[in-house]
Structure 1
Amino acid sequence: MTGSSGPKDDSSLGENLGMGIDHSSLFYIHPFDFPKQLHVNEVLTDNNYVNWSQEMKNFLFAKNKFEFINGTIKKPEKGSADYMPWMRCDAMLKGWLTTTIEKNIRNNVKYASTASEMRSDLRERFGKETSPRAYELKRKIAVIRQDGSSVSTYFTNLRSVWDQATSMQPFPRCSCKGCSCDIGKRVNEFQEKERLYQFLMGLDSDFNVIKTQILATKPTPDLSAAYHLVAKDERQRMISTEKRNQPESAAFKAFQRREGSFNKERNYQKIVKDNRETKEYETCTFCGRNGHKKEGCFKLVGYPEWWHGKKEKGKPKTVACAEPCPIPIPELTNEQYQIFVKHFLVQATMRGYKRGA
């Protein structure tokens, strides 16, 4: 009998080690599972035990391993067929827990003999109600505000703090059998009304109208209904703002085009003015006078036919008058008449420059 029991024990051990364990078994470990995996979004610190504990609980339920850390599955005796599978699962759980704990905290719990003891130690240190933590949560609820964020983001942040406070200080429940006072229902209604007021107090001033409408409604809407009313008001305001901005944008673009055309015209006039001023202050290197260059000097290239006045020495290309022209003013000599004409030509030229500028 002793010889026949050996192979049977070996077969049972191999089955429990995972070679033939059913996937629904508590001792089953997936081939891709290993101790140093990080399976939660938050690492345990001094201030987030509630969130961390909830995420770890969900993960261990999904892995069918939560009963190992809540004490339901006790450690089997050595020599039992379930001893080695249990030890393998417990070692995997301790690896998962230590990976999701901050280093300073990990050093204090990593020598726990079982995963259940590790979890009990963490709950004792961080999970129990403490006055400073409760005060911190109450104060956070009192000061949290929307501050320009969306209604959805603000409500989500506020509900997260509510859940933490409820986990830290749960409301009392009636433990009487056959109780007909409905104290549990009344406590829930009281809690919902408190949360409704806290939600409305933290909203931005843009929602003063909808807040007044909610508070004036009889009976007062519950928290869920009030949230949907505020979110609907926010959406309608966004739509109205988008419609109002469209014509303003078109008008702004038209103004930009009009201003651009005006700037182009103004720049063109400035360029013309600058050219005229530049030409006015040009100095001829041949005759030494202003207003023209050497290439256009009449003394050098000759006077045109329309030029009236005395022709000075140069290289005439055309002759304005082949014969002496009679003087229109008999009282003046020829020299006096030429000075008179020259004076009026200079005055006309200056008026032309001023008119063009």
Structure 2
Amino acid sequence: MNEADESVTGSGDQSGTNAFLEKLAQLLTAKNQVVPTPQFEGSAAPITIKLDGTNFGLWSQVVEMFVLSKDKLGHLNGDRSQPPGGNPAHHKWKIDDSIVKGWIINSLAPNLIGNFIRFSTAKEVWDAIATTFFDGNDASQVYDLKKRVSRLKQSGGQVEEYYNSLQALWREIDFRRPNPMKCKEDIEKYNQVVQEDRVYTFLDGLNDRLDGVRADVLQMTPLPTVEQAYARVRREDVRQSVMLGKGQIVPDSMAMISKISAPHEVKNSSSYNLNSSTKFSSNGNRNQTQPAMGIGCTHCGNPKHTKDTCFKLHGYPEWWKELKKKRQESEKARAAVAVSENYCVFPSGESDVKTEPAGYSDEGDNWAWY
């Protein structure tokens, strides 16, 4: 074989090797390539709130927030319109719209599903629900909401329940009467006025035993938001709960009952020990005894109560003023009886009529009915 033949043979072997390597590379690439599988979101929406016909405002906000997080809000507001039938994107749009429609249907109460499932698109379902359950121009609904706000009071209940009820009504009002201002400064001023009105409303509905913290909030400059006012009131409510009721709030009515009924309960027993320092006899009179050793207030020096229950240190409860008023009335009644005895028709010392003191009236013992 001459040099020319060897050259041809060498070049042929080289080209064959290159072709083989190229083919092998293609096969390996095809083997390792991962073909993406289309992923479809299920129609079972994790929306826990159900539309029952009375909570459209809250329900619609939750649904909008969820659909927006999935980048499909255009199927509700019409921004993402349906492509023509021959458009390649039509099939994908139908799938997405069906998913959004399923989210809405699954968030309805069972008795409402049949009224809206027949609509063909998610927007049609959304518009039909809004038409059925919401009318932003319905003055009677706004009037009813504002009336419920004005009449809502704590009425001896928990502060949290009272505040949450107010917030629910205010959110519904805001949804039906949004801020009408356009300028940024006007928007802030409008929101500030609304916040001040709501602080006044919240404070007005509190129990009388929270009158002290109510006055403190009103004296703050600038006036706090309703959230800040609630936080301040709640701290005071918890403090009273710990100091006066060992973890339970003493209702206003129960405080009044206890301080009025205590003298009668004492009267029916031969003796009653109060803080191990005072006893009452069977006729209701108080017998002073020496206070027990080690018991007394280190703040005010009164041996008849401890520092933990000292009203001068922790503040007087709201029923204290009314108790003092009752005591004054009792004193006046006893004075009237004393005057009438001067005109008694019985000779002195012969009358069988006896007058018992009307309850316990020691002005200095502020712990008496506590």
> TM-score, with normalisation over the residues of structure 1?
0.54
Question: Percent identity between the aligned chains?
Answer: 23
Q: Of residues 86, 93, 96 in structure 2, which corresponds to 1:89?
A: 96
Partner of 1:43: 50
| 1:143 maps onto 2:148 in alignment | no
Q: Of residues 175, 181, 186 in structure 2, which corresponds to 1:167?
A: 175
- Looking at structure 1, the residues matched to 247 and 139 of structure 2 have their Cα atoms a distance apart, in angstroms, of 51
Contact persistence 2:150–2:201 (CA under 8 A): yes
| 1:191 maps onto 2:199 in alignment | no
- Looking at structure 2, the residues matched to 138 and 152 of structure 1 have their Cα atoms a distance apart, in angstroms, of 20
Partner of 1:233: 236
Q: Of residues 13, 31, 40 in structure 2, which corresponds to 1:29?
A: 40
- Paired residues, number: 217
Shift of 1:214: 2.1
Q: Structure 1's 185 and 215: CA in aligned 2 closer, same or farther, altered over 3 A?
A: same
Partner of 2:126: 119
Shift of 1:48: 0.9
Q: Deviations over 1:90-139 (max 9, x none)?
A: 12222221222235543332222210121122223323321232122112
Q: Structure 1's 218 and 89: CA in aligned 2 closer, same or farther, altered over 3 A?
A: closer
Q: Structure 1's 105 and 85: CA in aligned 2 closer, same or farther, altered over 3 A?
A: same
Q: Deviations over 1:49-85 (max 9, x none)?
A: 1111011112212333222222121111113222112
Larger radius of gyration: 1
Structure having the higher helix fraction is: 1
Partner of 2:139: 131
Contact persistence 2:179–2:187 (CA under 8 A): no
Partner of 1:319: none
Q: Of residues 49, 54, 57 in structure 1, which corresponds to 2:64?
A: 57
For 1:264-343, list aligned pairs within 5 A. none
Partner of 1:205: 208
- Looking at structure 1, the residues matched to 93 and 148 of structure 2 have their Cα atoms a distance apart, in angstroms, of 43
Determine helix, strand or coil for the equivalent of 2:224.
Answer: coil
Letter in 2 for 1:77: P
Shift of 1:217: 3.9
Shift of 1:29: 2.2
Partner of 2:106: 99
- Looking at structure 1, the residues matched to 48 and 95 of structure 2 have their Cα atoms a distance apart, in angstroms, of 25
Superposed CA RMSD in Å reads 3.0
- Looking at structure 2, the residues matched to 128 and 159 of structure 1 have their Cα atoms a distance apart, in angstroms, of 21
Q: Of residues 72, 76, 79 in structure 1, which corresponds to 2:79?
A: 72
Q: Structure 1's 80 and 218: CA in aligned 2 closer, same or farther, altered over 3 A?
A: closer
Provide runs of 4+ in structure 1 moved above 6 Å. none
- Looking at structure 2, the residues matched to 157 and 221 of structure 1 have their Cα atoms a distance apart, in angstroms, of 20
Q: Any stretches of 5+ residues in structure 1 without a counterpart?
A: 1-17, 22-27, 246-251, 256-357
Determine helix, strand or coil for the equivalent of 1:146.
Answer: coil
Q: Structure 1's 184 and 108: CA in aligned 2 closer, same or farther, altered over 3 A?
A: same
- Looking at structure 2, the residues matched to 43 and 209 of structure 1 have their Cα atoms a distance apart, in angstroms, of 41
- Looking at structure 2, the residues matched to 218 and 114 of structure 1 have their Cα atoms a distance apart, in angstroms, of 53
Q: Any stretches of 5+ residues in structure 2 without a counterpart?
A: 1-34, 249-272, 277-370
> TM-score, with normalisation over the residues of structure 2?
0.52
Q: Structure 1's 191 and 80: CA in aligned 2 closer, same or farther, altered over 3 A?
A: same
Q: Structure 1's 92 and 218: CA in aligned 2 closer, same or farther, altered over 3 A?
A: closer
Q: Deviations over 1:28-61 (max 9, x none)?
A: 523xx2x3x3532332232211111011112212
- Looking at structure 2, the residues matched to 193 and 170 of structure 1 have their Cα atoms a distance apart, in angstroms, of 17
